[in-house]
């Protein structure tokens, strides 16, 4: 198949999904493609974030990456506007830096951060992208993806950034199960030596996890001894407030 033909078929599939979620058979019928070809195109587009599977179903819809590109990054900006006051509150209450991130394919993209009031702070990660498995925000986003998307991610080699980074698929899978049960993720020096973080998911009005909220700080003081659970609860509550703001915005 030529690259031009592949592009045309990709747009046929995206056009079929423009009116709402569809299963593979319906996508094939509307796009005029064989079902096997439609299934391959959907898998490829899902990997790039252009489409996504509907949670708990076998149908597909247009994905967040495509929506963001088409709208000039308006969804991301709206999310940041809703979340920023909560980031400020969380940074003051915790004494550490609070940040907001969104998925970008197989990466997590940090889109906002409020610095810690503590005199010894950490770098501003705004604009940085990191692999999902290596940071708490990414682990939260990965944990709440569809099983097929998780399997696809875990099938790829995963880079180790420190001695603590989990790179074995089954170890990461076990971590993701624990995150779904707990509702948050701690990452202790897994991406950067000396930095620890905790993150919680942010769901939109449909219940889909669209972003993550996190706190991070120097490992020598964060998390404070015996305060891991209380700190995580604080982050989960703040993420819930942002989610509530999204539902009413």
pLDDT at position 2: 64
CA 135 to mean position of chain CA atoms:
11
Q: What is the mean pLDDT of residues 20-24?
A: 83
Q: Stretch 94-109: mean pLDDT, rounded?
A: 92
Kindly tell me if the per-residue pLDDT of 43 is higher than 70: yes
Distance CA 36, CA 41 (A): 9
What is the pLDDT, as a whole number, of residue 167? 97
Helix (H) or strand (E) holding 170: helix 169-182
Structural domains in the chain plus CATH codes: 3-70 (1.10.10.10), 74-248 (3.30.450.40)
- Cα distance between residue 158 and residue 130, in whole Å: 12
DSSP state of 132: G
């Amino acid at each position: 198949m030529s690259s031009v033909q592949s592009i045309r078929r990709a747009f046929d599939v995206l056009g079929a999904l423009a009116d709402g979620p569809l299963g593979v058979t319906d996508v094939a019928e509307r796009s005029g493609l064989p079902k096997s070809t439609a299934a391959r195109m959907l898998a490829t587009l899902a990997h790039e974030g252009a489409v996504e599977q509907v949670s708990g179903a076998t149908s597909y819809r247009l994905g967040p990456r495509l929506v963001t590109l088409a709208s000039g990054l308006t969804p991301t900006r709206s999310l940041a506007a809703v979340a920023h006051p909560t980031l400020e509150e969380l940074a003051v209450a915790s004494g550490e830096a609070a940040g907001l991130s969104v998925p970008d394919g197989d990466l997590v993209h940090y889109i906002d951060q409020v610095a810690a009031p503590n005199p010894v702070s950490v770098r501003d990660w705004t604009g940085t992208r990191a692999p999902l498995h290596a940071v708490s925000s990414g682990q939260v986003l990965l944990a709440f993806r569809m099983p097929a998307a998780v399997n696809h991610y875990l099938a790829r080699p995963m880079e180790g950034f420190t001695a603590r980074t989990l790179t074995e698929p089954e170890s990461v899978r076990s971590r993701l199960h624990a995150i779904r049960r707990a509702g948050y993720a701690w990452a202790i020096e897994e991406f950067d030596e000396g930095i620890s973080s905790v993150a919680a998911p942010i769901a939109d009005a449909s219940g889909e996890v669209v972003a993550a909220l996190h706190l991070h700080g120097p490992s020598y003081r964060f998390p404070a001894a015996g305060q891991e659970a209380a700190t995580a609860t604080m982050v989960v509550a703040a993420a819930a407030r942002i989610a509530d703001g999204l539902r009413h915005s």
